[in-house]
Structures are given as C-alpha cells and as structure tokens.
C-alpha cells in the first residue's frame, strides 16, 4: 500500500516528519505537502495561478499551494505517475476539534482524499510535543482501516493527547463537539494612522458534552470522529417542510 502524506504546516514540519518515519517502516510513503504553513486554509483550491512542484528528496515533494492542491496532485498521479491508495494528513501542531474543523487545512486534505474515493485520516496533536505518540496511533489506525475498510464517504478526524504512548487512556469514537466562541477582533493603528485588525481571542473553550471529541481528549483518550461530507441538516428538512412551494 502506498500512502500519500500531507499536512497544512509545511513539508518541513516536525509532525509530518515524525509520521513519515513511523509510517515508512510499514508502508510506502510519498510526501506531497505545502512549501509553507497553510494552517486555517480550509478546503481552498488554487485556481488562479499555476502550481509549482519541487522535489525536496526521494519521495518528498513541496507545492506552492494548499493542502487540497497537494492531495489532488498526489492522488491523481500528476507528479510521478503513481496513484497512492490512502491519504494521511498531519500530524498537525495543535488540535482540530469541534467547529474548528471547518477552518482546518489538515482535515480538508483528508476530505479531498475522501472525495477522490480513498480512505483518509486527519491527525492532530492536542499540543506540540509528543508527535511520536500521535505517529504511533496513526500507524495503528492505518492498519485497522487496511484490515476492516472504511465506511463509505467517511474520513476519520483523529486527535491525540500530548502525552507518551504509555499514558494514553485508550481510543474513543466520538462526535464533533461544540465550541464556545471567544473570538475578538483587536483593532490597532499603524504608524500612518490607518487601522489594522487581528483576529484574536482566548481559548478555545468547549461545551461540556459527553461523547464529544474534546471530552475524550481531555480525559486522555485518542478521539476518533468519523466525518462525512454531507452537510445537510436532515432534521431541518422535516421542520421546514411547509416552506416548500411548487406550481405543479
């Protein structure tokens, strides 16, 4: 099996490098990753300029584009003619929990893999120290997916506590949690008096919710959330039924 490894922190990031080391002990790994940090790039696609791809070393390519660009280039065989079987995105520096996954370039890369019909994992560390633990967890999950397959149209969003392997409480299947918003916009002035703005704020904070991704990670468990790309609110279709209108 050949794994495409990408991330949104850049091809040089410690999380990706550590994961590459661990995964390549068991599988073929090709890295196609952004040439700079692309965190919070979400599912952006580059359509208005050509993409440049540079080989960094054997089986490592950097792209002047987004994580989604990287998955498309890599999975469609555009770079070296090979089409990998599996997408792994990460290990991200910092968690991707609850509503924050909508901003995440890490999760979007796995979404793109899913859209292309391949099993895909996004892996994030709840901190920035024990990438070794997250890499080991990822290898276990890749093996589980290889043995059992993945439910259709589903990707796994994995968040790992920032502790040693021995200190992990275990693995929990979770649902996407809810964030309590604390964003603020900080307004300042530049030397010529023009205002500028920083998106800032404390936190993130999470609603207490048993079974949610955040609760699992806080209790020392690896959180595994199966996600799908159907954003439809099926219950709302029922409650809004009488909004429908038709001439026939």
Binding site for Mn ion (CB under 5 A): 8-9, 39, 92
Rounded CA-CA distance 72/61 in Å is 13
Q: Which is nearer to Mn ion, 9 or 35 (CB)?
A: 9
Closest distance to Mn ion from the beta carbon of 169 (Å): 25
Q: Which is nearer to Mn ion, 40 or 173 (CB)?
A: 40
Q: Which is nearer to Mn ion, 16 or 150 (CB)?
A: 16
Residues in the chain: 248
Stated as kind and residue range, the H or E segment containing 132 is helix 131-148
Q: Which is nearer to Mn ion, 66 or 92 (CB)?
A: 92
Closest distance to Mn ion from the beta carbon of 12 (Å): 13
- Ranges of beta strands (E only) in 119-242 are 120-126, 154-161, 170-173, 179-180, 183-189, 195-201, 205-206, 221-228
Instruction: Indicate the angle between helix axes 131-148 and 14-23, nearest 10 degrees.
Output: 50
Q: Which is nearer to Mn ion, 35 or 150 (CB)?
A: 35
Closest distance to Mn ion from the beta carbon of 75 (Å): 20
| Tokens, residue 240 | 């809004």
Closest distance to Mn ion from the beta carbon of 234 (Å): 31
Closest distance to Mn ion from the beta carbon of 105 (Å): 6
Closest distance to Mn ion from the beta carbon of 37 (Å): 7
Closest among 187, 213, 217, 184 to 201, alpha carbons compared: 184
The closest residue (CB) to Mn ion is 39
Q: Which is nearer to Mn ion, 8 or 100 (CB)?
A: 8
Name 29's bridge partners. Answer: 3
- Ranges of beta strands (E only) in 162-220 are 170-173, 179-180, 183-189, 195-201, 205-206
Closest among 201, 197, 199 to 182, alpha carbons compared: 201
């Amino acid at each position: 099996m050949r794994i495409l490894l990408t991330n949104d922190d850049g091809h040089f990031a410690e999380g990706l490098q550590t994961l590459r080391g661990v995964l390549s002990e068991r599988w073929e790994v090709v890295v196609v990753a952004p040439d700079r940090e692309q965190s919070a790039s979400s599912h952006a696609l580059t359509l208005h300029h050509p993409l440049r791809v540079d080989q960094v070393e054997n089986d490592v390519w950097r792209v002047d584009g987004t994580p989604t660009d990287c998955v498309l280039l890599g999975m469609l065989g555009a770079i070296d003619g090979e089409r990998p079987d599996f997408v792994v995105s990460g290990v991200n520096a910092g968690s991707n929990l609850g509503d924050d996954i909508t901003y995440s370039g890490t999760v979007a890369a796995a979404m793109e893999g899913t859209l292309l019909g391949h099993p895909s994992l996004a892996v994030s560390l709840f901190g920035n120290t024990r990438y070794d633990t997250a890499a080991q967890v990822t290898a276990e999950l890749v093996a589980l997916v290889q043995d059992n397959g993945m439910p259709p149209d589903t990707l796994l969003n994995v968040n790992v506590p920032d502790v040693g392997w021995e200190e992990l409480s275990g693995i929990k299947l979770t649902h996407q949690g809810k964030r309590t918003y604390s964003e603020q916009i900080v307004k300042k002035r530049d030397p010529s008096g023009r205002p500028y703005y920083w998106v800032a704020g404390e936190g993130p904070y999470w609603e207490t919710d048993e079974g949610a991704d955040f609760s699992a990670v806080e209790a020392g468990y690896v959180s595994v959330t199966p996600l799908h790309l159907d954003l439809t609110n099926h219950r709302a279709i029922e409650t809004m039924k009488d909004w429908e209108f038709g001439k026939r």
